[in-house]
Structure 1
Amino acid sequence: MKIGKNLSLLLLLALTLAGCNNKSSKLTDFNRSVYTPEYASGFDIQGAEGRQSVLLTVTNPWQGADGIAAQLFIARDGETVPEGFEGQVLEGDAARIVAMSSTHIAMLDAVGEVGRVVGVSGIDYISNPDVQARRESIGDVGYEGNVNYELLLSLDPDLVLLYGVNGASGMEPKLRELGIPFMYVGDYLEESPLGKAEWMVALSEVVGCRSEGE
């Protein structure tokens, strides 16, 4: 009876360990296309067999960029970050977002997720009704080059949406120092209106509603 009980415990432990191992993955596993844009050229989303997590890659996110890839790993369902991954990591879907451009707000609004925006840049110049209705509770973190990082940190964002003009955003080093994940949005670099609009799928992915974006 005791031997049978011990065997049952060993079997349970083995299954538990197997389940834990199943949550781990390698970066090379993320080679399955989850979403390949039809019109946009600046991003793609890849997944791995049997994984809920995805890898969102933004390529050449500012003017003059050549061979630049900025990656965001969205870890879901308790899955671990792949070994050797050096990009940004978002744990689960972003519930609290700081948007540094009004176009980011428009895209989130289009999929019904603008309520996740907790911080903006230049609130007086943002016409979105939801943002204006919540302006007392939304933090205006200022403009690049004069960002109020103390305020930004107090907003406890899951993700900051950035854009680059002639180079990487000046906010990037400080966000890395503070441990705040960020993602570049390069919609303005697309040559067609449909290409610009398709970035809505990338923003939908970070809030867990890619189907709405599509």
Structure 2
Amino acid sequence: MTVRGRTRLALSVLIGSLGLAACSTPAPLADDTPEGCIADFDADVDYYPTKTSVEHAENFSLRYEKSYQVLTIDEPFPGGSPVTYALVHCGAPTPSLTGDLADATVVTTPIDSLYAESTTHLPLLAQLDRLDVLSGVANASRVVNADVRKAIDVGDVVEYGSDTTLDVEQVVADAPDVVMSGGTNKPEYAALRKADVTVVANAEWLEASPLGRAEWLKVMAALTGEEAAAEKMFERIESGYHDVKDMVADAATVEVLTGNMWRGTWSVPGGASYQSRLLADAGATHPWADTDDTGSLSLSAEEVAAKASDIPLWLASTEWRTKDDVTSEDPRYAELAAMKSGQVWTIAEDVGPNGGNGYWERGVTRPDLVLADLAAIVHPDRLPGHDFQFYRQVGR
């Protein structure tokens, strides 16, 4: 239980022992008021001097009342119905929620503790300088961030699950302020909600645009009270992204091969997907760029070879470092033109000690860095001396 939670519990016990009824508007807590909370609530005061605007993301929205925010996730998981959260500034009374807000989940903010199901949530906290809020991760072995790994090693951050399951009993016992979902609909979430553990959906991966995914930084800011920091950080990301895009805007478009085989299937990005948008902004295209798919296309090796075997530049979604690594997985790769040209690039530059990969952890919220890597690969003359963050050339 958090410090704020223990304070609330102690107050409720004291009220009960005195035989007093709780009032809807809390009395001032004087010197015992937790840092960042309202000490003397005034219904006429706007407690959000900095307000976040959402410009690129399409799967969440934020609106402000004087003492709380309304966060709505339109699709918390594929096919899911919208969910709404009332993010109430600590020290303010719980508002009367009716109409569209009648079923809203109330969350007291800023939160003190968060259990993160996906490693993509970690950079959101890191960029806001609020890793102190992190108290649990679902799969410690996938963590790349060095500060988080240290916190795990000393027991400040616990592991509460795996890629497929969550330890409900552990989470309920630990009572974090929020469990942030990874954009799926695991059955454990219902059990957590039944036990009064708040689950906040994070479905950034359903955004079709790179900057839309990165803008979920503002959801974390709403939970942690770091709106001003999030606005500055996102402006930096947005500006960096457009700077790179402008650098290659007039360059000739280069065709690339993407993806690789995994369990008999070769996945390539659909033409309306997040990955296709990144490639287009980097001055690249691919053989399936004219499709309308927003996700990935699952193809056979033969289908890929028929349309792309002669493409001399390959961006693979794996961690190969040598040509032997490539052909040991599938000898057919040796026949690809990119293997003969030596232009095979993989996401092997930022790999954690236990199997995590910085591309999957950090790249989602830093599309400016991903785009710079891609542009430097496709148009090296436009970004000479580029310091690669995620991609690495096979054999380098």
TM-score, normalising length from structure 1? 0.77
Match status 1:191 vs 2:208: yes
Counterpart in 1 of 2:146? Answer: 129
Counterpart in 2 of 1:81? Answer: 95
Provide, for residues 119-149 of structure 1, a one-character-per-residue CA deviation record: whole Å limited to 9, x for no partner: 1111011011121111122111113653212
Match status 1:173 vs 2:187: no
Match status 1:203 vs 2:220: yes
Q: Is the 8 A contact 1:144 1:170 kept in 2?
A: no
Counterpart in 2 of 1:108? Answer: 125
Q: Is the 8 A contact 2:204 2:213 kept in 1?
A: yes
Cα-Cα RMSD: 2.5
The structure richer in strand per residue is: 1
Counterpart in 1 of 2:355? Answer: none
Change (3 A) 1:37 1:160: same
Counterpart in 1 of 2:83? Answer: 70
Change (3 A) 1:18 1:88: closer
Provide, for residues 143-168 of structure 1, a one-character-per-residue CA deviation record: whole Å limited to 9, x for no partner: 36532122212322001101234xx3
Q: Distance in 1 between matches of 2:93 and 2:169?
A: 31
Letter in 2 for 1:107: L
Change (3 A) 1:190 1:18: closer
Q: Moved runs in structure 1, 4+ residues, more than 3 A? A: 17-23
Q: Which runs of 5+ in 1 are unaligned?
A: 1-16, 24-33
Change (3 A) 1:109 1:42: same
Change (3 A) 1:72 1:144: farther
Q: Distance in 1 between matches of 2:88 and 2:112?
A: 14
Q: Is the 8 A contact 1:58 1:69 kept in 2?
A: yes
Q: Distance in 1 between matches of 2:149 and 2:123?
A: 13
Q: Of the two, which has the highest radius of gyration?
A: 2
Q: Distance in 2 between matches of 1:118 and 1:19?
A: 28
Identical aligned residues as a percent: 21
Secondary structure at the counterpart of residue 187 of structure 2: coil
Letter in 2 for 1:82: S
Change (3 A) 1:19 1:129: closer
Match status 1:152 vs 2:171: yes
Paired residues in the alignment total 183
Q: Which runs of 5+ in 2 are unaligned?
A: 1-23, 28-40, 44-50, 232-396
Q: Is the 8 A contact 1:139 1:151 kept in 2?
A: no
Which protein has greater RCO, CA pairs closer than 8 Å, 6+ apart?
A: 1
TM-superposed deviation, 1:37: 1.3
Q: Is the 8 A contact 1:53 1:79 kept in 2?
A: no
TM-score, normalising length from structure 2? 0.43
